[in-house]
Amino acid sequence: MKQQITQDDIIYFVVTDRFFGRNKRTVDPSDTSIHGGTLDGIIDKLDYLLELGVTAIWVTPVYENIPDYGVSEPYHYYWPQNFERMDKRLLDGTRLSKSAAMSTFAKFVRLCNERGMKVVLDMVVNHAGYGARDRFKAEWFNVGGLGEIKQELAGLPDFDHDNPEVLDYFINNIEDWIIKGKVTNIRMDTVKHVEPKFWHHFKSQVRGEHPDVCLIGEVLFEGKDDVSKLVEYQNYHDFDSIFDFPLCTALRSTLIYDESLCYWLARRRVNDAERPGVLDDDNSFKGGYRNPNKLVTLLDNHDLERRIMSHARTRHPGDGAGLDWATRVTKLCLGALFTMRGIPQIYYGTEVGLEGWKAVDDRDLRRDFPWHVIDGNHHAKQQCTKEHEIYEWTRDLIHLRKENAALKYGTTLTLWSDDLVYAFLRMATDDVTLVIINNGYTRMPTPIQLDLNPAMIPERVVNMIAGGLKHWKTGQPLVMQNGKALITVDGKAIDIFCLGVP
């Protein structure tokens, strides 16, 4: 099995220290010390991840980090002081050697791969940890920060990648991790803070010698109009993938905060003067992404303002009805994530409604995984009502996507777009799926009528839709009348009709 990330995959992102370890402490989220999650602990929990259905795990950096920084230890491991060895605090000796050599990470990769789990390693080239400047040559650093974003990132020592010595060091360091650590997938941190010259060298040297290594770039532009900035990294710097933060913003703005679907997602195509939605920017002939199907899509992560469930609780506070609505819209967001184009990424704990907020720093966004809500069969406990409902929904969506070629590879065709309703087809060679989102708070009073326009949809696909689509949960066949699909969707809900449903 190839170990590179593809459109077949569902990525699960963990902050390793906050996930699991044999000796891990579970303390208040305000505690910024290292809690003791380890790579060994991730191996211990592979059964959970496999039962959930994910196919790849992205782990935070494993470099040797600084000891501490004032009131905080480097529990996230983004403050390196030695790029050539692992941090022993990420190893507890139960599954892996306690050796800090890159070969220990290679064993972690092998053990995951043997269970059918791909690995994405988080890498840093932009900066060193606080207080680590003296471990490198003084001329290796920018003064005040340069790069495309001309500032130091949170005051961290900023490497100057216009310096050929720095370029040479990091290109060779990455190759060492590929060869000795068996890295096949890289998530590159803080890409927009790195001088562009670095990516020229990367795609020439690393790509040339290791063409099968997948590079996913974190380029944190979140706005609807930021696609042109993101395109540069996929189109010109030759990244395999980048994170689709604009779609993340669009899903949050619409499904949580009730803004217009046709404004954010896809225009109605009534006239050319309409502003495009983020999915309209998928067209590479009009300055869009080279391949939007390879974008990594997400709802939340360790750097954004808050977790998706906390956004939902902000919009729908209180217990009772408030919690019910928050759970409902979180499920709606997950439904959109797993039916839209791209490679879905889940942040650990999102599948059980874990919350988290950014305040003075990011610690609350990186709470410990709540293992107390998971039972011996690797499911959320039924008595944990909210967690159980979101977990089962997420697990079912993941398994649907894995079994459905249209959701993994299909071309997207918008059938309907207005302020409250978005309907689209996903069409693959021998598969088709129809998805309808009702973003209103009440059930549609009358069925929406979706025209299966033969000028847009091949006849064989129309025949598949008319003859075989069923609701993914109820098994009810799609209602057709006079060549149109008739569907009534509940408030704040998503309906999915696909082939192969019993």
pLDDT in tens, 295-306: 999 999 999 999
pLDDT band for 143, please (50, 70, 90 cuts): confident
CATH number of the 411-498 domain: 2.60.40.1180
Q: How far apart are CA 414 and CA 421, in angstroms?
A: 11
How high is the mean pLDDT of the chain? 94
Rg over CA atoms, the chain: 23
Phi-psi label, residue 145: left if phi above 0, alpha if psi -120 to 50, beta otherwise: left
Would you say the CATH fold of 411-498 matches that of 11-262+295-409?
no
Between the alpha carbon of residue 112 and those of residues 96, 108, 362, the distances in Å are 12, 6, 28
Between the alpha carbon of residue 411 and those of residues 110, 282, 340, 416, the distances in Å are 34, 11, 10, 16
- Tell me the three state secondary structure of residue 76: coil
Task: Report domain extents, the chain.
Answer: 11-262+295-409, 411-498
Q: What is the percent of the chain where pLDDT is above 70?
A: 97
Do residues 105 and 182 touch, judged by C-beta distance below 8 A? yes
Q: Could you read off the pLDDT of 108-124 as tens digits, one per residue?
A: 999 999 999 999 999 99
pLDDT band for 413, please (50, 70, 90 cuts): very high
Phi–psi pair at 421, nearest 5 degrees: -130, 135
Q: Could you read off the pLDDT of 230-259 as tens digits, one per residue?
A: 998 888 888 999 999 999 999 999 999 999
Between the alpha carbon of residue 344 and those of residues 106, 241, 369, 423, the distances in Å are 25, 12, 20, 19
480, with CB counted inside 10 A (0-12, 13-18, 19+), is middle
Q: How far apart are CA 18 and CA 146, in angstroms?
A: 32
Residue 154 neighbours by CB under 8 Å, 6+ apart: none
163 against 267, higher pLDDT: 163
Do residues 439 and 261 touch, judged by C-beta distance below 8 A? yes
pLDDT band for 348, please (50, 70, 90 cuts): very high
Q: Give the other-Cβ count within 10 Å of 164's Cβ.
A: 10
Strand partners, 186: 121, 215
pLDDT band for 147, please (50, 70, 90 cuts): very low
DSSP letters, 248-276, are: HHHHIIIIIT---HHHHT----S-TTSPP
Residue 222 has pLDDT above 70, yes or no: yes
Q: Is the dihedral of CA 317, 14, 296, 380 positive or negative?
A: negative
pLDDT band for 283, please (50, 70, 90 cuts): confident
Question: What are 486's two structure tokens?
Answer: 């008739």
pLDDT at 144: 58
Q: Give the other-Cβ count within 10 Å of 170's Cβ.
A: 22
pLDDT at 270: 57
Question: What are 61's two structure tokens?
Answer: 């950096």
Q: How far apart are CA 50 and CA 13, in angstroms?
A: 14
Q: What is the percent of the chain where pLDDT is above 90?
A: 84
pLDDT at 146: 47
Q: Does domain 11-262+295-409 have CATH number 3.10.20.90?
A: no
pLDDT band for 149, please (50, 70, 90 cuts): very low
pLDDT at 456: 87
What is the β-pairing status of strands 241-242 and 185-188?
Answer: unpaired
pTM to 2 decimals? 0.96
Residue 420 has pLDDT above 90, yes or no: yes
Average pLDDT over residues 221-227: 89
pLDDT at 224: 87
- 46-79 as b/e, with b when 16 or more CB fall inside 10 Å? bebbeebbbbbbbbbbbbbbbebbeebbbbbbbb
pLDDT band for 269, please (50, 70, 90 cuts): low
195 against 360, higher pLDDT: 195
pLDDT at 453: 85
Q: Could you read off the pLDDT of 37-80 as tens digits, one per residue?
A: 999 999 999 999 999 999 999 999 999 999 988 889 999 999 99
Look-up of token digits 């000795």 = 180
Average pLDDT over residues 410-432: 95
User: What contacts 24+ positions apart, CB below 8 Å, involve 472-480?
Assistant: 472/400, 472/496, 472/497, 472/498, 472/501, 473/396, 475/501, 475/502, 478/434, 479/447
Q: Could you read off the pLDDT of 455-484 as tens digits, one per residue?
A: 889 999 999 998 889 999 999 999 999 989
Q: Could you read off the pLDDT of 350-386 as tens digits, one per residue?
A: 999 999 999 888 999 999 999 999 999 999 999 999 9
Q: ∠ at Cα 178 (145, 345), nearest 5°? A: 75
- Tell me the three state secondary structure of residue 117: coil
